[in-house]
Structure 1
Amino acid sequence: MTSYRQPGVVLTDRTFTVPLDHADPGGERIELYGREVAATGRAGEELPWLVYLEGGPGCGARRFSGRQAWLERAVREYRVLLLDQRGTGLSTPRNRQTLTAVGGPDAQAAHLTHFRADSIVRDCELIRRQLTGGEPWSVLGQSFGGFCATHYLSTAPEGLREVFITGGLPSLDGHADDVYRAAYPRMRRKNEAHYRRYPQDVERARRVAAHLAEHPAVLPTGYRLTPEAFQSLGILLGGGDGSHQLHYLLEDAFIRVGGRHELSDAFLEAAHAALSFAARPLYAVLHEAIYGQDARPTAWAAERVRAEFPHFDAAAALDGGAPLLFTGETVHPWHFTADPALRPLRETAEILAAHTGWTPLYDTARLAANEVPVAAAVYHDDLYVDTAHSLATARSIRGLRTWVTDEYEHDGVRASGTRVLDRLIALVRDEV
């Protein structure tokens, strides 16, 4: 282990070895990385552990500098483990470069079936026993991390002291089709709110989409920016300042070159930074798999369901003079041809989309008998996680206390500083 300091904290790098397939503990093993964080002056104390599960799927734990955001509140009383979930960050990363060693697309797809919430929770249980000596620990789950925490409550509640969930109460029985059928109307509402705030962006967005329809841009990285890819910038609208980010991005989309206008390098660079999956390929590859719970394949649910919402058709919007609607947290087959980080994984993604062997992730009977203190922040009209689904799940988990708020968007636990986590800790302890 290596320890070092940042302002206000002592950090310790930790590594763990776990089975790729927990049903085969003697088989292939992978390495997990976790960054232990303790407040300066308390690093030598016996403190309760809190493990942080990042959103995603496919995203490593956030890299903080010192005591940023919710970490300021957490280290006052916990020793925090910022865990890179399997396949992410420094945890035996899985991407187009490393998956070639696994084999061809069929072998890669079979390998990646072990990278969902069920495997992540079993990883946590092995790590917990090493770190706490068998004592239960606390969990903070953001977004997909909340999905993992809900699975944790379903399968290993004996390992949990308390659970905090932020923007991450999943539908317990919804198929991917149900998830996206609820998502597209939310996406439309976020677009309408953005255009009310920035009405000048209606014409700006239409102008960019029209330009790309005639002249798709191939960026220096090889990313192919089409009207559909441009629409994916709507993922920004799920963050607290996302509407403003999108506005500023559109503001300088074009630059005058001689007697004509073309998309500026600054715009193309910013768009690429927002759209590329190079830093989180598993987010795209496994995104719909996190909703698979029975024999039905997910079968590119976001793409199929989109056809039920013709307002999102870019060509029709341009032909009919309607505002262009941006999409949100959706992954489509064309992502695997547009993005060079995903192109080598196209066949693997197709196999996973057709997979029929998913198993249930949530035990409703066990959740109904829950005894672990749980509190959840539910963000009103969250772009990424349906509020109605979250509240139905909250009612299904015995003793769970919710804080429903429209003060924050999906990134509230970070954007609020200490406030969201502080509120959830108070709820769990019946202090509010």
Structure 2
Amino acid sequence: MPRLETSADSPVPVRVVAVRISEWIGRLGEIWVDGQVAQLNRRPGMATQFLVLRDPDANISLSVTCPRAVLPETVIEGSRVVLRARPDFYLERGTLSLRATDVRQVGLGELLARLEALRKLLAAEGLFAPERKRSLPFLPRCIGLITGRASAAERDVVDNARRRLPGAQFRLANVAMQGPSAVNEVVDALRELDADPDVDLIVIARGGGSVEDLLPFSNESLIRAVSDARTPVVSAIGHESDRPLLDLVADLAASTPTDAAKRIVPDLADERRGIAELRARSRGRLHARIEREHELMAGLPERLRNTVRARIVREGEDTAQLRRRVRQRMTTLLQAGRDDLEHVRARVRALSPEATLERGYAVVRTADGSVVREPAQAVGALRVRVAGGEFDAAAFDRAQ
């Protein structure tokens, strides 16, 4: 199909654009489409029936027309169907629709097979891995609750939680919990609560239902939204026998909404009893310790006296022994000092002038006190010193 050449000066009429769009869409031919019936308008007596087909994983829908004969009576709003249709562009209104020639309702077995295939795919990506699970806060400040308006699930969660913890705070998000719009509403509520900094925990609760009713909680868009959430998510969908994929990706899967209430908040009465028991045990242990210490202190003075007395005796004996050793050491050192002093004295006496004089020598000095060392120095009056004292002498020349 050749491209239209247009400009501001040479535009094409609307009809030309509409025809070209219709021709292009018409070239698609018949296709098989999978979707969920969002709206169904059965017109009694009319050969043509009208419905709106919605994508289960996105907020996208298309109008569908089909012969009454090919639309099964069991198809209702919310049913999953596969239909064979030809895209049709309505020129007068500029709208796109599908003209179905065959409509088949998806059976339960096929739905379960698709869910199993989706479970395997998401498990392979690691969305259900245990290490991704986050611990729930012990005492959440505010609990986000996604559930149906005025539903039994809402009452079960809120009433039982507040019975366990009076004053528990909830931020409610009432949305459709089944039907074509359920997935989008739950995902939007989840993202809104996840973005709220005051919400510490999010609970998605519903009071059971058929497999078809619970299909939104196995939807891939919802599963991925829960996996991406920063806030811990608790799944409380259905009863113990129900097992949607939401249970696998949630941080905690409760068997019922009532079970979820018991697991998201502590029981104040139980906690008080536990604290009282711990206080009693601590008091008992403290009293037992004080009693043991009292018994030990009762005999402590006598033990201290005996210990001090023995210590004093032992220290006294050690002191006496040290004193004897010091006295002996001092005596030895003094005797050695005396012996050394006598030896020094003997050496000094042996080397002193007195010892020389005692051997018969004399020291002769002149009148001016000079020591006479040469005979020529002995002139006139002299002074002689011997061992016994000093006396005067005079030098004379023998030649005279």
TM-score in terms of structure 1 length: 0.22
As a proportion of its length, which structure holds more strand? 2
TM-score in terms of structure 2 length: 0.23
Answer with 1 or 2: which has the greater Rg: 2
Structure of greater relative contact order (alpha carbons < 8 Å, 6+ residues apart):
1
